[in-house]
Amino acid sequence: MKSIKKITNKVTDNFSALAGSALLVGATLTGGAALASAQSGSSGSSMDADLADYPTPFVDEDGNVETSIVLGSDAKVTDVVGATEIAGSLGAAAFGEESVSTGSGVSGTWAADNGVTLNRDNTNLFLYEGSGDGITRIDDQDISVLETTSFQSADSNDVEVEHDVRVEDQSQQFEAEGDYDDPILHLNNPASVSDSEGEHLFSATAEFSDSVDFEEAGDNDDSATNADEYIEDGDTVELFGTEYTFSDDSNSDELVLYGSSDRVEVNTGESTTLTVDGEEVTAEATYVSEGDSVTATVSVGGETETVEEGDSVGPNGNIRVSDIYRTGPDGQGRVAFSQGSDELTIDQSSNEVQVDGEELDGVYVTVDGGDFTSTEAINFYFGAQDNDESFIEQGETYEDPLFGLEFHYGGLNPDTADEDNAAETIEVTSENEGVSEVTFTTDGEEATVPVHTDSSDTDDDESVFGDEDGTIAQYEGEAVEEDDRVVLNAYEEADMYEVTDVSDSDLGTESDGELSVTLENVVTGESVTVEEDGLDLNSGDSDVYDQSAGTATLQDESIEGKDFHVTFEDGEEVSFVRSTADGNRQLWPAMYTATDSAIAFDAPDTDVDNDGETETGIEAGQAFDVSDHFTATVGDGLTSSIDLSSDDVEITIGTGDLYEVRVNTTENSDGSGASSVQSFSSDTAGVTLTSGEADYNHIQSIEVVNATDVGTVDVDQPAATDQDTFDTSTTTETADIPSGVVSNDATATLTFTGSNYVSTANVDSDFAQYNLTTDNGMVDLGDRSDDDADSAVLFTQPENDQDEEEAYVLETKSDDSEAASVASYSGFETEDRSLEDEDVTVNYDEFGAYVSVDDEGDDEEVVSINMPSGQATSGFAMTGADGALSADGSSGGSATAAAPTGQYASGVLADDGNVGQVKNNDNLILVGGPNANSLTQELVDDNQTMPAGNYTTGQGMIQMVDGFSEGQSALVVAGATGEDTRAAADFLADYRNNQDALEGQSKVTVETSSGTVVE
């Protein structure tokens, strides 16, 4: 098949570019097209066809364009352009359904009945956001009772009333309210209602297209009012879906309206029976007066009186005379009685609304235009009717007391306060005299890891990181031994293992030795052994053995699918480094939970170097070997190496302290012969190398170790003129740190100014939420206090809707603390709240996790985090009466949405060889009349459409008829001239704006000059 563009090329080269561009525009239009694509159903008989269903059946409910557009072989340029516009409009209507992301890490969605949720397109609302952070203006596109209505003024002019609702910003809270002793999720709802910012829940405005004088009723003098229009007593006005009857009791400050009522009309000389408060009352009309001021004589309940419109009669005055009509001479007429109506009084001077004389609480009103003599709009502000109702509990609805508009607050979806709604629970349990543990779920299995053991539960009366038998490795490449635990994290996969056996007795002794280590997965219990034999472990350096270090490394060993270099160290110790590490080292390597969160472990502060002082964090020099990065070789300023045979050499540093200077000396000045490296301690004064003090006399290089600051080092030989100056260098290493997303590579740059001295540790990734600090060569977590004897669990949540991660430091019990606790959280969280009669505090964090700290037990304390599968969303909706807000789950953070299919109609010429196939298989749009399109003529021959002679110049026609095969439809778009055909095509292409004219029609005639339907 050909595209319309190809047909254009064949018919007229001059319009090919235009046709192509029109198609392109049509294919990319969006907006209301999704509504059109949702229409379904077959065309049926042409007698049943309704052009308002267009573009059905030419675009089906899945967004497929199931049609061909047929042009005559010698079509005019105007026909081609018209066909192109039709094709473009069909392309814009071609929408189908596809699964789309609802935002990173979002686990719940919301839907509203008879209204609209407040979240914007593709934008969710969350716990830290208020009701004003979403959609704030609601109109008739969202709620049907907000449709624009109209009434007739006294001058018989139509006055339109446009309705809308504006949502005010109120915050979500988690605290006890009303009769609740325990905290609840709720939305604030102001009890002191006004039009000020923050002092109402929402407002509803009725805006008039013309200013209206509601005081002028009964006066026919237009000059008596400053407004555009005025209204008569008894006229009706619809506000927010409720019909009211205007009363001439209104004045400049008060507008009096009567609500809908039971109404009955009685002719003079007749009577009717009304039921009032369960009692039957007879009402009759006897006389209607003449003149400008019409009155009527009525008898109600046996009492006869003369009344005007708006008067009240009957028992307790609860029957209203709503209308009086004079229908003939001699007092003939008709009287309308109404009962059950509410009297609504809107007082702009006091900003009050009254119903039957009683002030309506929780409503505040203002009038645009000054007062009711020139009213442009009436604004209603709604809030709580009582101080005890100044909140909307999650799952509850506020209904305004006047029009029945509803505001719904759904709370969180999911609400993980109910553990059944949580995807998993992270639980840290601390026993008073025992082991502190963390429990979580990974790969469908529940895992429990001992994190800290109290001194009372160990043989040597010292608390330990891990359990009594073994510790937990804190960094990648840390040496571990039997009973220790290590997390092997290869990014896509991560597992914790306990070392159950290390066999390295052949290390350094055998030329045909073997090495092995056995690991047990702490979650699954499965064991894996890394072993190799036939290794040369005693004959100098090899691919495996490093003689100087006394270690052997097995390269690229697979451990349950994770590739690691495994290094055996003397003393049955072993370490693991990723095959892909490229020099990086993971600090606090993490394993992943069921929600793609990350869990890592931080040891308590200890005296690392046995100097009597407690260091905090990880000793960076152990994680990274940078000892060879600080060797400074004598530079080009010297004619030869520095000679110590006859003169001393002074080495000084310009800034900072110099802890150690290592001097490499050789036997000969050219570096040949014997050599040695000697270390010299230093204070701020530097080092003086005395002649004859060194093993050899020729200095070849100098290594500066542990310089506290980058500084200039001077090498000076006072008795000689030669001198060399060089700067102490810095070096950087990349540390990988815990991340809650498997694919993320959270890193930090560590800057070393000495082989075991880190000056700075800067986090490189925005989503990495652990603040790193450095002190005395240690890298620590900024949210951990110095001299902290507590072990900790590092818990990083997955990415939220803003592609950010937030993280917890959960500290366990230690000898110096009494309970497990949340040491820090990097994101937003509600204030901790205590549960009544329990030693339990609870809150929600911004991810929607429910966090509780339970100190109630005498023997243990528990921190629990109930995690949703993705970030929980907050639900808000505005609806009409009897509306609803419902929570839906979302699988994998996706939802179904309308999406363009990118299809458009195929093009065919009437004399193409395949036109017969098209006739039998496709729905057709035939552009051009019988004289221009042979297929249109065939339909004339079948009496489906009119012959050429019946067309009228200046008019185009659109007609839906049966196609050439059963179940197929044909749409004829034609005219007496090319311009007439073009006018019909334009009208069809703009079908969205012409729905009313197409409604109920199978054929319409379009005026070429005006582009409107001929009635």
H or E segment to which residue 300 belongs: strand 296-300
Q: What is the pLDDT of residue 816?
A: 53
CA-CA distance, 411 to 392, in Å (whole number)? 10
Confidence category of residue 455, pLDDT binned at 50, 70, 90: low
Length of the chain: 1015
- Residue with the bigger pLDDT between 640 and 375: it is 375
Confidence category of residue 100, pLDDT binned at 50, 70, 90: very low
What is the dihedral sign for C-alpha 126, 132, 137, 140? positive
Q: pLDDT tens, 607-633? A: 555 555 666 678 887 888 876 676 555
Confidence category of residue 170, pLDDT binned at 50, 70, 90: very high
Residue closest to 358 by CA, chosen among 372, 347, 348:
347
Lowest mean pLDDT among 104-108, 447-451, 751-755, 994-998: 104-108
Per-position DSSP letters for 731-792, written without gaps between them = EEEEEE---SSTT---EEEEEEEETTEEEEEEE--TT--PPEEEETTEEEETTS-TT----E
Q: pLDDT tens, 707-747? A: 444 455 667 765 555 555 555 567 888 888 877 655 566 88
Q: What is the pLDDT of residue 106?
A: 73
Model confidence pTM above 0.75: no
Confidence category of residue 548, pLDDT binned at 50, 70, 90: confident
Neighbour count for residue 584 (Cβ, 10 Å): 17
Whether the per-residue pLDDT at 639 is higher than 50: the answer is no
Q: Delineate the domains of the chain, giving CATH numbers in brackets.
A: 3-38+47-99+900-1013 (3.30.379.10), 107-232+348-412+874-886 (no CATH), 625-666+698-705 (no CATH)
Whether the per-residue pLDDT at 10 is higher than 60: the answer is no
Percent of the chain whose pLDDT exceeds 90: 43
Amino acid identity of residue 514, one-letter, is E
Whether the per-residue pLDDT at 783 is higher than 80: the answer is no
Confidence category of residue 885, pLDDT binned at 50, 70, 90: very high
Q: pLDDT tens, 662-705? A: 777 888 877 788 888 777 665 555 667 776 777 888 877 766 65
Confidence category of residue 204, pLDDT binned at 50, 70, 90: very high
Q: What is the pLDDT of residue 95?
A: 65
Average pLDDT over residues 650-662: 60
Per-position DSSP letters for 375-386, written without gaps between them = EEEEEEEE--SS
To the nearest 10 degrees (0 to 180), the angle between helices 77-93 and 16-28 is: 20
Q: What is the pLDDT of residue 669?
A: 79
- Residue with the bigger pLDDT between 461 and 355: it is 355
CA-CA distance, 898 to 96, in Å (whole number)? 5
Whether the per-residue pLDDT at 251 is higher than 70: the answer is yes
Tell me the C-alpha to C-alpha distance, in Å, between residue 77 and each of 22, 922, 955, 981: 14, 24, 18, 11
Q: pLDDT tens, 891-931? A: 333 344 444 555 555 666 666 556 777 787 788 999 999 99
Strands 618-619 and 778-781: antiparallel
Neighbour count for residue 673 (Cβ, 10 Å): 11
Confidence category of residue 30, pLDDT binned at 50, 70, 90: very low
Average pLDDT over residues 291-298: 89
* Cβ atoms 792, 809 nearer than 8 A: yes
